[in-house]
Chains A and B, each alone.
Chain A
């Protein structure tokens, strides 16, 4: 029983990172119709930037953290401007394949600069576990979970009350109407990618001490799209629930079936959802207009 509870807690902590990745993807997709496969590569770049400042330059954690986030923001805005905005009018599969090319590009750039070998990132918090109600946790886990939850909570007032957040929602609803109301659609595209970079970059740096830093670490986060599909690619709440669900499913499958199943199960879940309920687990059906 304790073991099951422990696994579920582990799954929730893993799932919170998936949820953040998925939220970034959903926000981007709703505003710009792009499915960002290269999401994990932004995580990886953030981890590498943080690693460079923290370990190679020896700067303080706070400084390297904020610098790394800043660089990822610049990077992701540049990607949007240079690679994806010219494809706005193109059919949707071109966007997917373009972000896939970005995935290849970012991965190979990371390999060119930092080499293929994995690095360790020194922990910035104690990794000695403590126990609450017989469940082992580390401070690090708590921080990862807490930050994810904080972001999720902050997103609500952001979309509800701030000018930029409202602008993003307007662009999601109707681009032409939004631009008639004086909202710069292009600017919103940049802001959306910026928001995504903040979400994903934070995850990258927080996870770096746990996972290590290496050029293919982004592939771990490709599951973000599985989670996004669980939420029907439109619902933020759906992605949060989906993230926790997938995290728990994966951890349980990894423990009770086999570690190989850990990866396979998430993709099986995805295909099942797409076959049974393509609009996502939590959304009502959509009528198609001709």
Chain B
């Protein structure tokens, strides 16, 4: 196996964070990983299979509340977490099956209303979800107590790395190639023998399972679940993450997650400006860098020698902005 110094450095930093960093830093890095997991699933759905989902926060909410519910009933956290993921995946099937018939903007609206319904259920079904007062989510106590942030940090990072490797393998397998083919052209890939129903539903299942696991980790990390953290705007945030990091790159999901987890902390002083800057930055990314940070870096790596020197830096950035003129929009 080839030794990659960058990767080793990243591992080293991730291992050292809890020993050298403050509690606060540990919290932020854990949050990046949790957001990243949810964005990773969405990236497989949107970046690879080319479907749109405006309801990732709904899947995250299902995972989070189901996990917290089962823990409250006395189940172990290590059983509740997969149950949360599975039930979120079930929700994904329920949304994914009708999604075969609809696509494009209709799919966006359908998934968006799914997220709305979940949010409203969280607010109104008080006997289970606690309503607007929220729900306490406790950390696992087996095999030893994870109350200390550092220990739970390792759990989150381990799961994140594991899920990342799984996602990378999915993407590189025949499934990933089928997803890409569907994204490129549904009718052609169908005529090539790709089972659209199977693969499109599968993409939804993967997306929602990742969302559910992220939710199951999010609850114990924060310690408290509140319907306000699962609104339609949070769904938009996950999409922003993958667009910002680079659609269809997987690593981009974590870059975007890091951006949106760290920016609020940077802007802590000016909390009023937070949402405004989110929106503005995102619009700028959509217009000027639609391929996100990763897309930019890839081009930057390959064409540094010729292009970059010839056109100059600013022109280079703006050159990238044009959306390719492909098929007319259906």
Q: A93-B52, A260-B120 are in contact. Are A100 and B236 (CB under 8 A)?
A: yes
Cα(A100)–Cα(B238), bound, Å: 12
With beta carbons under 8 angstroms apart, the residue of A86, A104, A275 that contacts B233 is A104
Q: A101-B236, A108-B275 are in contact. Are A89 and B106 (CB under 8 A)?
A: no
Looking at chain B's contact residues, the main secondary structure is: helix
Given contacts A35-B109, A92-B329, A93-B104, 14 further A-B contacts (CB under 8 A): A33-B329, A87-B323, A92-B104, A94-B286, A96-B108, A98-B283, A98-B286, A101-B282, A101-B283, A102-B283, A105-B276, A108-B275, A263-B116, A263-B120
Q: Within 8 Å CB of A101, what residues of B?
A: 236, 240, 278-279, 282-283, 286
- Residue B206 at the A interface, CB < 8 A? no
User: B290–A94 contact, CB under 8 A?
Assistant: yes
User: A271–B275 contact, CB under 8 A?
Assistant: no
User: A89–B323 contact, CB under 8 A?
Assistant: yes
Q: Mark A81-109, 1 if CB is under 8 A from B, else 0.
A: 00100110111111011101110110111
User: B286–A225 contact, CB under 8 A?
Assistant: no
Query: What bracket does the count of chain B residues touching chain A fall in?
Result: 35 or more
With beta carbons under 8 angstroms apart, the residue of B102, B109, B233, B236 that contacts A225 is B109
Within 8 A of A (CB), among B103-148: 104-106, 108-110, 113-114, 116-117, 120-121, 123-124
- Residue B272 at the A interface, CB < 8 A? yes
With beta carbons under 8 angstroms apart, the residue of B113, B239, B279, B283 that contacts A267 is B113
User: B117–A267 contact, CB under 8 A?
Assistant: yes
Residue ID in chain A nearest B237 by CB atoms: A104
User: A274–B276 contact, CB under 8 A?
Assistant: no
Looking at chain A's contact residues, the main secondary structure is: helix
Q: Within 8 Å CB of B239, what residues of A?
A: 97
Q: Which residues of B contact A (CB under 8 A)?
A: 46, 52, 54, 98, 101-102, 104-106, 108-110, 113-114, 116-117, 120-121, 123-124, 187, 233, 236, 239-240, 243, 272-276, 278-280, 282-283, 286-287, 290, 321-325, 329-330
User: B102–A278 contact, CB under 8 A?
Assistant: yes
User: A96–B322 contact, CB under 8 A?
Assistant: no
Q: A89-B322, A92-B329, A260-B124 are in contact. Are A278 and B106 (CB under 8 A)?
A: yes
Residue ID in chain A nearest B274 by CB atoms: A108
- Residue A143 at the B interface, CB < 8 A? no
User: A86–B287 contact, CB under 8 A?
Assistant: yes
Cα(A280)–Cα(B278), bound, Å: 34
Q: Within 8 Å CB of A102, what residues of B?
A: 279, 283
User: A229–B272 contact, CB under 8 A?
Assistant: no
With beta carbons under 8 angstroms apart, the residue of A97, A104, A109, A112 that contacts B286 is A97
User: B275–A35 contact, CB under 8 A?
Assistant: no
